[in-house]
Amino acid sequence: MMMKKYPNAATIFAGALILGFVLTSGAFAQTMKETVRSISSAGQSKIADFHSYANPHQIVVRHVDLNWNVLFDRKVLEGTATLTVERVAGVSDNAPLMLDTRDLKIEKAEASTDGGKSYKNAEFSVGANDKILGAPLTVQLPPNVNRVRISYATAPTASGLQWLAPEQTAGRKEPFMFSQAQAIHARSFIPVQDSPAVRVTYSARVRTPKNLLAVMSAEGNEQNSRQRDGDYQFKMTRAIPPYLIAIAVGDLQFKSLGARTGVYTEPAMIEKSAFELADTEKMVAATEKLFGAYRWGRYDLLVLPPSFPFGGMENPMLTFATPTILAGDKSLVSLVAHELAHSWSGNLVTNATWRDFWLNEGFTTYLERRIIEAVYGVPRREMEATLGRRGLEEELAEMAMPDQILHVDLKGRDPDEGFTGVPYEKGALFLRHLEETVGREKFDKFVRGYFDAHAFQSITTETFVDYLNVNLLASNQNIARADVEEWIEKSGLPKNAPQPKSDAFVKVETEARNYLSGKAAAKNVRAANWTTQEWLHFLGSLSSDLNAQRMTELDRAFNLTTRGNAEIAFQWLLLSIKNDYSAADARLEEFLTTIGRRKFVKPLFDELVKTPNGRKRANEIYAKARSGYHPITQATVDDILKRGK
Ligand code: BES
Ligand code: ZN
């Protein structure tokens, strides 16, 4: 029997205990059965992933081999997942394998002790379904097992997949399907140990309708795109957490952007996408110069249909992106910088649990700004950092104190609740604070060392703090440990939080003040050469006490209702709801029925339901929009409309 030592999952889980207990939390009245794994290994404090039923401390999955048929008519992925497993040293021979699933139809489980040459049926059972976690799948295995093959099918409502009708695509002729696994949705299309502390390599064979192309977060995309025959193979040879396994199928075309970079999207979007993303190769080079080699081979992007629920998703080798970044002027490419940065912070060094999410997103937002600075200059970086900080402050003003903590407690809650400005912007401000305190040269060296020391590992906040103490604080008297503790473990923004400075924005603020106070008429607002960022700052500085006439004036002067830039349109529509500007009604409906990006959809519905009339409109619009939204966006809006009913 294998008694291998695992560098990641098993180090974390070694000597683990399983404690089952029942817990209730404020947000979720229902009780949740939890599997808590806690350990103390050298230098590491206790860790527990509250969002997985899996038992990698007993049997660990090292590789996932997928064999899928993509069935558009039934909205089903059907096939097998063959898991390469290893029993951890010292673990009882009869410990079963526990996997995460959600709404999967499990047909059969089989086990092999000869590396997959022959299989025997294995007994399995699916536990009760938890609303957040899904259901544990328990498979009984022979002592010297090394492969487990699960035959299964996904549900048409799988939370991690969206099946689009042809009308929801740019080409309007072919259907489309894509996955979104982060945070805990991989389990809705793969029976797997769905914890970011577990790292797997993967391979896949995917059969689709002959005229469509499948792409994955793996090697093989370019090769497959040259031979579109409905039968595609992929491999990811670097160990990744399961939330980074991704697939999309549609009428996709490829266009090269540079030596290592390119874009996949529907033919109707390919030229626009290639134009917008033209700086991608430059960004990769800039990031390497700052933070060390790009370790994933190629970096491609996939531009999805507008129902994609996020701005971007850092699927390795193939970032998934919303088409709402295609502004026509490259002004929204900080999203590319962000997802690219995850190739270091997130994909190379990964949060071990979702309470450590700030390690992924805070570092990435910090890196994103450094990339923007390197490619577009300091003024642009400062504008974006200012927008980030202002957004954070607005959010903090309404956020429960415990949720303002970087190292947030998500026990008993949906990890999506941790998706706020805190891990992103507070995390980035913390790192910028460290940079400003010790100096850039020292800090950059520290960050490079941090990536090298933890490459292809999943780590907790405690591991980061230990590393910080030894490698930065020990040689720098000007940062106190108490300071670090305040940043990571306390609510709010510390007093010493960096304050980004933008001269351009100071001018914008003057214009906004003059307009608000009535000193300047709309046509006198000096906005002639404003960039997207300046417009966003201006609109964000206006308030809810502009009357219809003042909104009309602004609109006449600057054509805001008809703007194609999705970020500007969003800010304007938000302002229009707040100020009862009914001339934007049709545009609002068009926006909400064509774009499913949650960052836009959620605040607009939140704002609408604040008045009885708005709530009525929200319901009317949602009746038309809902079927086009991704399950994640649907769940978010369902919730908003249910509240206060
Ligand atoms: N990894 C996130 C998206 C995510 C986080 C999906 C948590 C599911 C759960 C991605 O890198 C991200 O942060 N996207 C942002 C864009 C970015 C420019 C801030 C988004 O989608 O808005
Ligand atoms: Zn991110």
Q: What pLDDT digit, counting tens, does each position of 521-570 carry?
A: 999 999 999 999 999 999 999 988 899 899 999 999 999 999 999 999 99
Q: Is 310 in the pocket of ligand 1 (CB under 6 A)?
A: yes
For the entire predicted model, the pTM comes to 0.93
CA distances from 343 to 68, 290, 293, 432 (A): 27, 13, 10, 20
Closest atom of ligand 1 to CA, residue 418: 7
Estimate the crossing angle of helix 357-376 against helix 378-396, to 10 degrees: 150
pLDDT value for 14? 38
Q: Would you say the CB of residue 179 lies under 6 angstroms from ligand 1? A: no
Q: Read off the pLDDT of each residue in 363-373 and give the average, rounded to a whole number.
A: 99
Cα-to-centroid distance, 338 and ligand 2 (Å): 6
Return the residue whose CA atom lies nearest to atom 6 of ligand 1.
182
Task: Give the model confidence (pLDDT) of 198-238 as tens digits.
Answer: 999 999 999 999 999 999 999 999 999 999 999 999 999 99
Q: How far is the CA of 442 from the centre of ligand 2 (A)?
A: 25
Name the residue with the closest Cα to ligand 1, atom 18.
Answer: 335
Mean pLDDT of 286-293: 98
CATH number of 1-155+177-245: 2.60.40.1730
Check pocket membership of 311 for ligand 1, CB cut-off 6 A: yes
CATH class of 505-644: mainly alpha
State the catalytic residues. Answer: 339, 424
The CA distance from 219 to 229, in Å, is 17
Average pLDDT, the chain: 93
Q: Which CATH class is domain 349-489?
A: mainly alpha
What pLDDT does 543 receive?
Answer: 86
pLDDT of residue 480: 87
Q: What's the token pair of residue 524?
A: 């006198």
Q: Tell me the two tokens of residue 570.
A: 């969003």
Ligand 1 centre to CA of 224 (Å) is: 27
**Average pLDDT, stretch 47-74?**
96
Average pLDDT over residues 358-383: 98
Q: Residue 19's pLDDT band (boundaries 50, 70, 90)?
A: very low
Strand partners, 77: 70
At 185-195, the pLDDT tens digits run 999 999 999 99
Q: To test ligand 1's pocket by mutation, which of 345, 360, 361, 384 has the most ligand atoms within 8 angstroms of CB?
A: 361
Determine how β-strand 161-164 pairs with β-strand 176-179.
Answer: antiparallel
Taking alpha carbons only, the member of 240, 278, 244 closest to residue 262 is 278
Pocket flag, ligand 1, residue 182 (CB < 6 Å): yes
Name the residue of 240, 245, 310, 342 whose CB sits within 8 Å of the most ligand 1 atoms, as the mutation to test its pocket: 310
CB atoms within 10 A of CB 298: 15
> Could you tell me if the CB of 266 is within 6 A of ligand 1?
no
Phi/psi of residue 122, nearest 5 degrees: -120, 145
Question: Which carries the bigger pLDDT value, residue 33 or residue 281?
Answer: 281
Angle at which helices 378-396 and 532-541 cross, to 10°: 30
- How far apart CA 439 and CA 23 sit, in angstroms, is 45
Per-residue pLDDT reduced to its tens digit, 298-356: 999 999 999 999 999 999 999 999 999 999 999 999 999 999 999 999 999 999 999 99
Phi-psi region of 75 (alpha: psi -120 to 50; beta: other; left: phi over 0): left
Nearest ligand to the C-alpha of residue 368? Answer: 1
Query: Could you tell me if 81 and 68 are in contact, meaning their C-beta atoms sit under 8 angstroms apart?
Result: no
Query: By mean pLDDT, which of 47-56, 277-286, 299-308, 616-625 is the weakest?
Result: 47-56
Contact 395, 336 (CB under 8 A): no
Question: Which ligand 1 atom lies nearest to the CA of residue 415?
Answer: 9
Residue 9 CA to ligand 2 centre (angstroms): 22
Asked if the domains 1-155+177-245 and 349-489 are classified in one and the same CATH topology, the answer is no
Cβ(459)–Cβ(429) under 8 Å?
no
Return the domain boundaries, the chain.
Answer: 1-155+177-245, 349-489, 505-644
435 within ligand 1 shell (Cβ under 6 A): no
Pocket flag, ligand 1, residue 320 (CB < 6 Å)? no
Residue 16 has pLDDT above 50, yes or no: no
Check residue 583 and give its pLDDT. 97
Percentage, residues of the chain above pLDDT 70 = 93
Q: How far away, in angstroms, is 304 Cα from ligand 2 center?
A: 17
State if residue 335 touches ligand 1 by the CB under 6 angstroms criterion.
yes
Question: How many angstroms separate the alpha carbon of residue 179 from the centre of ligand 1?
Answer: 14
DSSP 298-319: -EEEEEPPTT-SSSEE--TTEE
